[in-house]
Amino acid sequence: MESRTHDLVVIGAGPGGYVAAIRGAQLGMNVACVDENPQLGGTCLRVGCIPTKALLESSERYAEATAGLAEHGVRIAGVSLDLAAMLKRKDAVVAGLTAGVAALFKKHKIARYEGRGRLAGTGLVRVQGKDTLELNAKHVLLAPGSSCAPLPGVAPDGDRIGTSTEALSWAAVPPRLVVIGAGYIGLELGSVWRRLGAQVTVVEFLDRILPGTDLEIAREAQKLLRRQGIEFRLGCRVTGAGVEGGECVVTIDGQEPARGDRVLVAVGRRPSTADLGLEPAGVVPDERGRIPVDDGFRTSAPGVYAIGDAIRGPMLAHKASEEGVACVERILGRPGLVDHDLVPGVCYTEPEIAGVGRTEEALVQAGVPFRKGVFHVRGAPRARCMGRIDGRVKVLAHEKTDRVLGVHVIGPHAGELIAEAAAAMAFGASSEDLARVCHAHPTLAEAIKEAALDVDKRAIHA
């Protein structure tokens, strides 16, 4: 069996793995990256974040062309949907970005191995692909990512009942779509197909949408999405799904079934930690399949580290990337650090939903004294000019110290706005600090300043 030696072997080429590989190469390590897929980038680039955002962008343009531009004095007759072209553009975006990662690997002289990588002993990784080979390494970093979580009683068939992977490539708009799960994935893809003409029903086990999001913001989101034509059935336990008489039927405990032409199962994700050779190496995943690590991302196996969706915390691409950089830097004795309390989350619906830090409910539950400032987007002149006035910004600050504890946004470009809040919080900013920063006028970011001012009930335009 052929054997090769590297300083660092990374298993997984997603946003955590490929970023870790590049950072290791930047710091002078001889790095190899192992992944089963010929396209680098993992789920995020291939069948997750990127293609979803491409379709969200295209479908929003279509929605504007069919209705939204008229108020701006732009009237377009005979607008039609070319779904094949839309999907082709999505694929081109993905291809361009994955090729970009491959070019970065070449630039940094990172060795690529296509195949399944698994631990095979101390400092040893076995790669099973077209051929089997062994990689010797002082350090092994596990970044296997995650896969769509199953739902008992529901078996995706890759056609009528599918996961997010299939929903990114449907060749025709389903007249009726049932989405199981009201998290980021379900709402984003539900929004895509609603804009393109589908009648969308979202079925959720909880009595609310977007679990983990600030409740006030989530309720606003539900109201606005319902206005767009998305129907919600909350507090529903799905017991099965199948095709009966030519239509999809989703059975719900104690309630009428939901019926549609396609079903999207979007009930979260689970770590892809099976078949990594963990147990023989002395690494025992928890009940959710996550790999236990310490603050330096070390597992219980010597020289083996883990990051991203495979460990605790939110399954977000940017969280994995930050962990990849920090892990490699820690391996080399540098002060790599990730503040897991300040990982922003964004849902790319229209309007976008974003948050960083603690929610109001979490502060109440923990008994933390706080003050709240809220500013409605309609008060921002830039939002008025754009014709996108729905939403609000919410700033939560400690009652005594005024330190910002959380910022939550629903509104146009919320995903861009939240970066200001994350940066401010990383440096321990107070609401007064945010309020005193001069913001350009007219910008959407002025809403953050106004919400910070409202913590002391002195917002100017409220």
Cis ω for the linkage preceding 335 (within 30 of 0): no
Residue recorded with tokens 């078949």? 275
Q: Are strands 31-35 and 111-114 parallel, antiparallel or unpaired?
A: parallel
Main-chain dihedrals φ then ψ at residue 120, nearest 5 degrees: -135, 20
**Residues 75-90, buried b or exposed e (16+ Cβ, 10 A)?**
eeeeeebebeebbeeb
**DSSP, res 72:** G
Residue recorded with tokens 């990172």? 110
DSSP letters, 133-171, are EEEEEEEEEE---EEEPPBTTB---SSSEE-HHHHTS-S
CB-CB contact of 119 with 277 (8 Å): yes
Q: Which of 318, 376, 398, 441 is catalytic?
A: 441
Tell me the residue type at 388.
Answer: R
Angle between helix 49-63 and 83-107 (nearest 10): 140
Q: The sheet that has 247-252: what strands, in order across it? A: 238-244, 247-252, 255-260
Report which of 68, 65, 60 is spatially closest to residue 79, judged by C-alpha positions. 65
Confirm whether 441 is a catalytic residue: yes
Half-sphere exposure of 327 (CA within 13 A, CB side): 33
User: Which helix (H) or strand (E) segment is 203 a member of?
Assistant: strand 199-203
CB-CB contact of 444 with 382 (8 Å): yes
Tell me the residue type at 79.
Answer: V
Tell me the catalytic residues: 441
